Structure 1
Amino acid sequence: MKHTPSLSIATGLASLEARLAQDLAYLELPAKPWVPARSHDGQPVRDVVVIGAGMCGLAATAKLILTGITNVIAYDAAPAGLEGPWVTFARMETLRSPKGLTGPSLGLPQLTFRAWFTAQWGDEAWQSLDKIPKDQWMDYLVWYRKVLDLPVQNGVRMTGISEVGDLIAIDVEGAETGRVLTRRLVLATGRSGLGGFSVPDFLKNVDRSRWAHSADDIDFDKLRGKRVAVIGAGASSMDNAAAALEAGAGAVDLLIRRKEMPRINKMTGIGSQGVVHGMHQLPDAWKWKFVDYTAETQTPPPRSSTLRVSRHDNARFFLDCGILSVKDDADGLLIETTQGSMRYDFLIAATGFSNDFNGRPEFAALAPHIRSWSDGRYTPEMGHARKSMAEAPDLGPAFEFKERVAGSCPMLSHIHCFNDAAMLTHGKVSGDIPAVSAGADRLVRGIAASLFAEDVEAHFANLVAYNIPELQGDEWVDSTPTLKKETAL
């Protein structure tokens, strides 16, 4: 249900914003700036640049500024209000997370979605709310950015990364064009943050006008009356199938390789603060075991998303239906499956994303040097050698990349992978709503510590130079002269 604000609602939101401002004042946040300013050949240097201003990018930027690291900017290629997946390729009706999760609030009650919602529509509306409409979640993130006055520049795309001494140079184009120097770089680039779409080999030679990835910008109106195939049994496959059906597709078939639909969301069942704060400290074998098991059992699509598809008479579910080949000809797409040949006009591949940097021009200078789990961290006794897991970057404690060969690319230790690709190393703290605040805290603690260590000489010099007296000299009487006289007697 979409709620429309009224004058009283606007007043309620203003009251919430006043309470948030008061809380920040009580906590003395943002902390005073403490990072020494730097320049290079007359050009100012940023302390941190964040690429991406979706939920994770906003949380990271906010945490940096609250910590006193204020020479920060976040860039996002999307127009304002269209960052992230929520009102672009996320085609579900509501979020899948429980409504009460605190999300990117960073431990501030007045910054939660619940506070934002109830300030406008009240407690009764909150109690009657089931799941959060995805468009409303986007509205909340827009408010989050506004109320914290976060430095975000939209319409800017990063096109390259290079090393300039001990600094990182990023090339940008769009609303801001040129080269930006920074000491630290955070890649808050979401699900497709590293390698982009994962495309099955059987689609790589198929005319791109006849198929789309589930995260593409799809014109569903053009599918009216068409025969559509959707690959997969996950949430995005259901959401895209439903969008096609609701746009008037003639028939939609879900081609599902598994013999049975996954039914149990395993990770939700064990969700706890232990998982949030303990997963990243487990031995590698245990990390692999957890992620491998959840990959094997898979996360089921939400019940509501599945019913959104199955309520249509022209929707069909084909289980145990592996795809052998896809060919395009004058009659459309001929798909050979383990259940025989099938004909369609269009195909949607809900096949996820890849961690492989290679092929992304903006990462060309980094890709050959990034250490992945396949570079010695994974060993066969851990379990199944899943390609998607083996490609995952091997990250340090602050989400920083590591070098495949020591000394080959020093700037990697100053580039932080705060996106979905960090899951194998850090757990689900840099992509999903439940633990994003914990992830932002872990990220910024690491960045703050490394910046302080890098500037340790300047901070020590500041210690020596500090000369504002606490005592003025009139707070006591020196009794030494009296003692000397008494001793002389």
Structure 2
Amino acid sequence: MKSDSSSITTSLAASPRAAGLAALEHRLAQDLEWLGGPARDWMPRRQHEGQDVLDVAIIGGGQAGLAAAVGLAQLGIRALIFDRASAGCEGPWATTARMETLRSPKELTGPAMGLPALTFRAWFEAQFGLAAWEALDKIPRLQWMDYLRWYRRVMAVDVRNDTQVVGLHPRPDGRVRLDLKTPAGASSVLARRVVLATGRDGLGGPAIPAFMQNLPRAKWAHSSHELDYGRLAGLRVGVIGAGSSAMDSAGTALEAGAHSVELLIRREDLPRVNKGKGAGVPGLTQGHWDLPDPLKWQLRHYINVANVPPPHGSTLRVSRFPNAYFNFGCPVRGLRLADDVIHVATPKADFELDFLIVATGFRVDWASRAEFSAIAPHIRTWGDRYEPQPGSEDGELSDSPDLGPVFEFQQRSEGACPGIERIHCFCYPAALSHGTVSGDIPAISDGAQRLASGLASLFYREDFETHYARLEAFAEPELFGDEWTPSPLPGSREFSPVS
């Protein structure tokens, strides 16, 4: 009988990795114990008509939702996450993302929440060793997803998968009703606070140019859509855009055997410098919220105008193919379908394509998110409160929600939607109000800690009478009355000198 040498090798290789990971998990548990974990249970339990009321419901179980849940747990606040994806597929990493590696430098601590043993580096070195870490350039995308799965497990984050939130209804009684679609059917829960950790497209969806309206859906996809790239083999593919997602989509199509890929690029050249990276200093991370409105707008508008270049590696992934074509100065002026061929008109040339990929980013689009229909008309945006200087207009910024200090939505008209401030926007559209601390890897822990501490303060204020009553009832003695003997008063003392 022939032995399966490959499975034997795999088993032997897996053992040291498992042992290293077990040792790391032991260290993490020790760190948490040394830091006084688990946190004291101080939140009063709430019920409504016999139903438990959640302290915090988090919508989205990706890296932002996980970090928010851990930040709350560190302060003794119970959070429950709802995610529509199956377990292990939260976020884009294992589904719609197509980059080979993350853009972020591998040294960033991401959602580690100040715990060295919870960093990606600790997780990686525990399994593969220091030499492998030093040889690693960027973090592979699917390996990051493996890390997040481990993160969820070791931090015991409570995630309800395959559960879609289909409605959000703030109530004037201090609760928010979440309507759920689950494998067991429709249901609802009540929560005192709701956190939207819904990612890059958290308040909308893909930005689809108007010229795509008349193209049959079978002939195109947005870069964020799920797509079997194998079906592009042998086809002439066009990619509109030149950012990260455009390069990732183009590279994936070429690797899948596309006949050719035409990159249709509006600019005359690619941006070379990532201005957002240059802005990422601790002062900005901690201080963006406190900036005056004009400076917030100035900063975010400057980064938007400068645009973020695609990563070096992602661009080389495309350009190494001889059938990849970079067409600069070619914004789409119009397109039509004739004889099953897409004819795309640009200022410099016309293109004949079989399939089109639109890599044009995301936008706030309340109409595309039915679950927000009850709150969308009442949310105050920056366009409602701030008028930029002429020449600094920016649709993305104007559409951004005007958030309070704990990432909370605010009412457009006072009294029109009581309770809307109990919904907290911890996703990318919070960037103008709070900086990039609610989605991107570099400062996600800072944002999660700010969110958690803010919610702890709000809860304490709301429950002050309960906490004060607990204070009055607190009767744990420090002294028992037998630690001393009462002394006689000075006139009745007998002096006994010490020999």
Match in the other structure for 1:267: 276
Q: What's the secondary structure of 2:392's corresponding residue?
A: coil
Which has the higher mean CA deviation after the structures are superposed, 212-221 or 382-391?
382-391
Q: CA deviation at 1:32?
A: 1.0
1:28 matched to 2:36? The reply is yes
Tell me how far apart the structure 2 counterparts of residues 383 and 39 of structure 1 sit (CA, whole Å).
52
Letter in 1 for 2:454: G
Match in the other structure for 2:304: 295
Match of 1:453 among 441, 447, 461: 461
Native 8 Å contact 2:297 2:388 kept in 1: no
Tell me how far apart the structure 1 counterparts of residues 357 and 429 of structure 2 sit (CA, whole Å).
23
Match in the other structure for 1:231: 240
1:389 matched to 2:397? The reply is yes
Q: CA deviation at 1:237?
A: 0.1
Match in the other structure for 1:188: 197
1:357 matched to 2:372? The reply is no
Match of 2:88 among 81, 87, 109: 81
Tell me how far apart the structure 1 counterparts of residues 170 and 64 of structure 2 sit (CA, whole Å).
25
Deviations 1:191-236 (A, max 9, x none): 1110111111111232111110100001111111111110101000
For structure 2, the 5+ residue unaligned runs are 1-9, 495-499
Tell me how far apart the structure 1 counterparts of residues 376 and 309 of structure 2 sit (CA, whole Å).
33
Tell me how far apart the structure 1 counterparts of residues 157 and 81 of structure 2 sit (CA, whole Å).
8
Deviations 1:150-188 (A, max 9, x none): 101110000001134321000011236400100000000
Deviations 1:211-270 (A, max 9, x none): 101000011111111111101010000000000000001110000001111111112123
Which has the higher mean CA deviation after the structures are superposed, 198-207 or 231-240?
198-207
Tell me how far apart the structure 1 counterparts of residues 317 and 58 of structure 2 sit (CA, whole Å).
37
Match in the other structure for 1:145: 152
Native 8 Å contact 1:285 1:382 kept in 2: no
1:95 matched to 2:102? The reply is yes
Tell me how far apart the structure 1 counterparts of residues 55 and 213 of structure 2 sit (CA, whole Å).
41
Q: How does 1:34-433 map to 2 (within 5 A)?
A: 34-70=42-78, 72-164=79-171, 165-175=173-183, 177-376=186-385, 378-381=386-389, 383-433=391-441
Q: CA deviation at 1:329?
A: 3.1
Which has the higher mean CA deviation after the structures are superposed, 380-389 or 469-478?
380-389
Q: CA deviation at 1:309?
A: 0.5
Native 8 Å contact 1:288 1:382 kept in 2: no
Tell me how far apart the structure 1 counterparts of residues 90 and 335 of structure 2 sit (CA, whole Å).
33
Tell me how far apart the structure 2 counterparts of residues 334 and 191 of structure 1 sit (CA, whole Å).
31
Native 8 Å contact 2:170 2:422 kept in 1: no
Tell me how far apart the structure 1 counterparts of residues 491 and 48 of structure 2 sit (CA, whole Å).
60
Q: CA deviation at 1:361?
A: 0.9
Q: How does 1:4-23 map to 2 (within 5 A)?
A: 6-23=14-31
Match of 2:477 among 466, 469, 481: 469
Letter in 2 for 1:214: S
Q: CA deviation at 1:272?
A: 1.6
Tell me how far apart the structure 1 counterparts of residues 382 and 279 of structure 2 sit (CA, whole Å).
25
How high is the TM-score relative to the length of structure 2? Answer: 0.94
How many matched pairs? Answer: 482
Q: CA deviation at 1:372?
A: 0.4
Q: CA deviation at 1:482?
A: 3.3
Which has the higher mean CA deviation after the structures are superposed, 407-416 or 451-460?
407-416
Letter in 2 for 1:147: V
Q: CA deviation at 1:326?
A: 2.1
Tell me how far apart the structure 2 counterparts of residues 465 and 101 of structure 1 sit (CA, whole Å).
46
Letter in 1 for 2:103: R
Q: CA deviation at 1:410?
A: 2.0
Tell me how far apart the structure 1 counterparts of residues 227 and 447 of structure 2 sit (CA, whole Å).
32
Tell me how far apart the structure 1 counterparts of residues 375 and 491 of structure 2 sit (CA, whole Å).
73
Letter in 2 for 1:408: A
Tell me how far apart the structure 2 counterparts of residues 14 and 406 of structure 1 sit (CA, whole Å).
53
Q: What's the secondary structure of 2:336's corresponding residue?
A: strand
Letter in 2 for 1:152: V
Q: How much identity, in percent, do the aligned residues show? A: 51
Q: CA deviation at 1:403?
A: 0.6
How high is the TM-score relative to the length of structure 1? Answer: 0.96
Q: CA deviation at 1:486?
A: 6.0
- Give the aligned CA root-mean-square deviation in angstroms: 1.6
Q: CA deviation at 1:356?
A: 2.7
Letter in 2 for 1:65: A
Match in the other structure for 2:6: none
Deviations 1:391-423 (A, max 9, x none): 000001111111101111122211110001111
For structure 1, the 5+ residue unaligned runs are none
Deviations 1:23-47 (A, max 9, x none): 1001012311111000001111000
Tell me how far apart the structure 2 counterparts of residues 330 and 430 of structure 1 sit (CA, whole Å).
46
Q: CA deviation at 1:340?
A: 3.3
